[in-house]
Structure 1
Amino acid sequence: MAYKYPDKIPFYKFLLKSSAIAKNPIPFHKQWFDEKDDTFSVKSPLYGHIILTRDSDIARHILQKNHKLYHKSKIQTKFLSKYVGYGLLTSSGEYWLKQRRLIQPAFHKKKIENLVSIIDKAIKTQVDSIQCHKELDLYPIMNELAFEVVAKSLFNYSAKKEILSRLQDIIEKLQVFIVKEIRQPHKKIWYTLKGEIKYHMKLVKESRDIIEAIIDERRHSGESHDDLLDMLLHAQYEDGSSMTNEQLIDEILILFVAGHETTANALTFTFTLLALHPEALNKATSEIKNINTSNPLEALNQLKYIRQCIDESLRLYPPAWITDRVNIEDDTIGNYHLKKGTMLGISIYEMHRNKKYWKHPEAFLPERFNDASKELQKHYMPFGAGPRLCIGNNFALYEMMLTLKAVLEKFEISTSTKKIKLNPLITLKPVDLKLRFEPKN
């Protein structure tokens, strides 16, 4: 059978716009999706055939129905893993499956429910430190909060402030550079000559040293904690062996990176959206007022509208805004017949705004998740889909719901932001979003 690819965008169009695309590819994706009916291809001299789609049938074929034929691309398994380790997020095939089976029990819903009071306490401590009476840059506040929650609930670790800040700073710098390297691979020699690669690899070593210190501290303490770190230290493969120190550092570094930053992004977008939509904010605040329990786990079951607000925020601004795969064998998707080694990108951001699937796709309408119908769920993938669905999705949702509850109980919020700005790096980052916190009487 002859290979058949979606409509092509000529490669020269990418070259002409390469620096603008490197800064923000989203407007270009949208323009070409609109032109080419949700899916287009390009033939790159570096990567061969590349397909980009916002079609949910294609996305589900790749991530669910035929997932065994699709592995993560070198962008994740090679470039990203060089900086954040070769763990659950960046591995593929048998190794990924082995690691997923080992770590999955720690993220079982019941296990996360046992952590809810620790998560809630960490959130409240952070919320109590928020400054009032002035407009603040929101992302750093949410970043610190999410980092503390991961450190305390998953690793029962109280870091010195400077260590925490340093790890956050390293993660931020690495992400910016990884994106530069991925989007402008033709500049690799220039980055090497300038010493940028060497500098960022030093940062990688420093981040791994910080994580190794956390592991060593736990091992030498002889103490037992019912947390993720204990579970990872004692987890055994089928042959009775445990993870090496390198594997442990890989997994913990990725859980720190993925577990705090995506949540910080999502919380920043959600609070801003609520501040921009007073009716939704009033409804959310009223729901919190009517909670009739002091038990955080029971409270979660009563936060129905808060959950809808988070779902809608994740639809409009999914932190994991794009994902990719490469087929390890020839495959047919609908009318397309793809050669082995084709790279496929799924724009979750654009799928979530595709007018074929969503009424008023650009509007913030939490009520659309009232019944969360099955039809809706087909086109909604903020945590991915299929066997590689984000392992920490329940943890993230509980944390976000409890953070909204803690903030809206204590503060009136408002913003002078008129338009939400973003920066699509590895995750979708909020830019210059401000929030004012006024204590409630």
Structure 2
Amino acid sequence: MKKIFAILNLLLFFWAFSQTDTAQVIVPNRENAADVFSKPYVILISADGFRADYMDKYQSQNLLKMAESGVVAKALIPSFPTITFPNHWSLITGLYPAHHGLIDNYFYDYQKKKIYAMSNKEAAEDGSWYGGTPLWSLAEKQGLLSASMMWVGSASDAGGIRPTYYYHYHEKFSPEEKVNKVIDWLHLPEKVRPHFITLYFPEVDGSGHRFGPDSKETETAVRLVDDAIGSLVKKVKDLGLEDVNLVFVSDHGMIKVDTERPLEIPKILFNKERFDFYNAQTLLRVVVKNPAEVKSVYKELKKNRTADYDVILTKRFPRKLNFAQRNDRFGRIGQIVLVPNAPKIFLEKGKKTSHGKHGYSPYKVSEMKAVFVASGPAFKSNKKIGEFKNVNIFPIVAEILDLKITDDIDGKTNTANQILVK
């Protein structure tokens, strides 16, 4: 009987896998405005989990060549928490997570009375969860067509308008297949050719989580993405388009965590009548249901904590992390945060974890820092710069594409001024 059930489960898995929607979605009846034809192109590429030092550590030859011919930063500083969905949305909106609302990959909204989970397609494609205006919406509203290869939120109506070309998220395309689809977009006639393209690679993050950042598997994933970048550079050159700019970034880094001696979650927090808690393992957020108890609960947690983690009231959260109660525009963070010291993690009994993690402060844990490399006619040549915040990517792209920024953002123009040809 067990064998029969095993076979049935396997068949069910393959059936579900075969039902994955891999078709491109094209929004009909859109064309570039006449003044767009002469504008440059920007391909914004994210390699999830590509740590700041991976390029040198694993000798990513194509990215190193790109850095030599263009601009490379010492590191890109992710927004806090250094988690995938919050940072991809920060990159594309120029807002910190507490300002755009994606404060984690998983959270509860007490006004909506609903859960957001990155694995839930319905939530992930519901634009009402996302604050801010993503670059593709800004571009489309100003008559410039855009396309997205599975960037976070790109299949949603966040910002009021989707990219003209996009895909629902799946992992059935190889990096090379994604590159070919980007090239297909650039082959389109001028009237319907996207000038802003986002491209997402998950492979490095997956290997980093499963095997750790120093593993052979992670090195292989880095080389796989690097090969895809080399292919993209060559194929763009073969197109003959003169004004294509490539911007290669990541959302965060990766660190090997202590899976043998995880931290215990304080027992008091399991009282569901008094608390909700949300454990990202590298960050634990606490919602105290009776606001009058916040101060006393904080004192109790602080008194009983170990040296391996800190207990912080969100109203006193470090200003430079922009994750305090005063920043929380959507009321999703909670009043108390437990912050483990890397490489420690919080782990509930019976729950699984992985060898590699992210989420820590990039100012305290250098392994959280991300990568930035860019090249093309818009960028200075052979330019090395220091670290800068990832919210500054938004004004860089907007400047290249001559887009008017219509909303207040957290990103500043100082990095654009450093690296762009005027």
Q: TM-score, normalised by structure 1?
A: 0.27
- Considering fraction of residues, name the structure with more strand: 2
TM-score for both structures, normalised by structure 2: 0.27
Structure with greater helix percent: 1
